Amino acid sequence: MAAARGTQAKTPQLDWTEARPAPVVLISGPESFLADRAAQAIRTTLVEAHPDLEVHDVDAASYAAGELFTLASPSLFAEPRLLRIDGVEKCSDAFIEDAKRYLAEPADDTTIVLRHSSGQRGKALLDLIRKGTGGAIEIACPEVKKDADRLAFAQAEFRRLGAQITPGALRMLVGAYSGGIGELAGACVQLVSDVGARISEDEVNRATEGRVETNAFRVADAATAGRGAEALVLLRQALSTGTDPIPLLAALNMKVRAMARVYGASGGSGQLAKELGMAPWQVERAQRELRGWREADLARCIDQAAETEWLLKGGTRDPEYALEKFVLLVARRGRERQ
């Protein structure tokens, strides 16, 4: 075992893109895709430096006492080793005790990667790591949920792939892949593979055609732009292919609520974005779409959205008509028929 590291300095917390080897690496947070990326980056770095790297995987939930020290003990030929310990949020009591002892005197030429997704289990161990014990670093992998964060992630993916994408195409792609970021990352790779290094809205439009999110995006865009006839055609096309009406309503309702939040607010898009918890581009888009709207008409649309949701969830025998009625109301900027 190496001499004990100092415990005075606080453990550095790094972004997942900065993942690097250390005697002890804590990968924390619920975003498993980013955690896997970080762990793979650490392994790649170690293998490049040590082609003979030994890799061991340990399940913290079924951990047996002494296992950590057995795997970390120097072998006859002193090969460097990587221990990947998964499920620390479900770890056994034996693991907690052994990990605390190990932190006091980490092994030479060994990197231990601890994966803790969430929860309070193992908190005392995490606190010890975060105090700087054992020469540890922490890699934070928070959930990527906000539109601004998803856009930044996708933009970084295209940079990593050596590709450029227009802002409109980027927003369209992120809107079309509203699930996990693993799916979004896969879409970025596939798009670059199919299209090349320069990507426009036309390419994204063709690549995402038929997706539920894409259909909803197009219907909502046409309706809020006042193009009622086009919105109805797009809506009926989407419904005819089996698209559930609920996501279509949700996309339109999201746009209406964004306009309501921005209505009457003063200041630049950056300032308003911070105040309203929106991305600057969302503020700017909502401001553009607000032209011609009145406050009372926005309120009418929000009320109608709630009623339409109730109708779609069983309150009527003709949910498609209820959705068409709401789409046309939005396209008329909330005004009743003249």
Instruction: Note the pLDDT tens digit of each residue in 209-230.
Output: 766 666 788 888 889 989 999 9
**CB-based contact 144:153 (threshold 8 Å):** yes
How far apart CA 175 and CA 214 sit, in angstroms, is: 7
DSSP 334: T
What's the whole-number mean pLDDT along residues 219-244? 87
DSSP 50: -
Q: Give residue 274's pLDDT.
A: 84
Based on the domain organization, do 268 and 164 belong to the same domain? no
Q: How many CA atoms lie within 13 A of 231 on its CB side?
A: 26
Residue 7: inside a domain, yes or no?
no
Residue 167: inside a domain, yes or no?
yes
How far apart CA 262 and CA 284 sit, in angstroms, is: 9
Confidence of residue 4 (pLDDT cuts 50, 70, 90): very low
How far apart CA 6 and CA 22 sit, in angstroms, is: 14
Q: Which domain holds residue 200?
A: 144-209
Confidence of residue 2 (pLDDT cuts 50, 70, 90): very low
What's the whole-number mean pLDDT along residues 282-292? 87
**CB-based contact 10:81 (threshold 8 Å):** no
CATH number at residue 150: 1.10.8.60
CATH number at residue 132: 3.40.50.300
Instruction: Note the pLDDT tens digit of each residue in 96-118.
Output: 999 999 999 898 889 999 999 98
Q: Which of the listed residues 111, 140, 169 is the one where a domain comes to its end?
A: 140
Inform me whether the pLDDT recorded for 283 exceeds 80: yes
Based on the domain organization, do 110 and 195 belong to the same domain? no
pTM for the structure as a whole: 0.66
Q: Give residue 6's pLDDT.
A: 44
Q: Looking at the 3D structure of the chain, how many domains does it have? A: 3
Token pair of 189 as six digits: 């790779």
Residue 150: inside a domain, yes or no?
yes
Q: Which of the listed residues 125, 140, 155 is the one where a domain comes to its end?
A: 140
Q: Tell me what the pLDDT averaged over the chain comes to.
A: 87
Based on the domain organization, do 328 and 222 belong to the same domain? yes
Confidence of residue 240 (pLDDT cuts 50, 70, 90): confident
Residue 199: inside a domain, yes or no?
yes
Helices and strands (H and E) in the chain: how many = 15, 8
**CB-based contact 257:302 (threshold 8 Å):** yes
How far apart CA 329 and CA 228 sit, in angstroms, is: 9
What's the whole-number mean pLDDT along residues 283-309? 90
Instruction: Note the pLDDT tens digit of each residue in 128-171.
Output: 999 888 889 999 999 888 888 889 999 999 999 999 999 888 98
Based on the domain organization, do 23 and 94 belong to the same domain? yes
For the chain, give the percent of residues with pLDDT over 90: 47
Residue 2: inside a domain, yes or no?
no
Q: Which of 8-12, 202-206, 231-235, 315-319 has the lowest mean pLDDT?
A: 8-12
Q: Give residue 145's pLDDT.
A: 83
**CB-based contact 20:168 (threshold 8 Å):** no
How far apart CA 204 and CA 166 sit, in angstroms, is: 10
Based on the domain organization, do 121 and 152 belong to the same domain? no
Based on the domain organization, do 240 and 286 belong to the same domain? yes
Q: Give residue 337's pLDDT.
A: 66
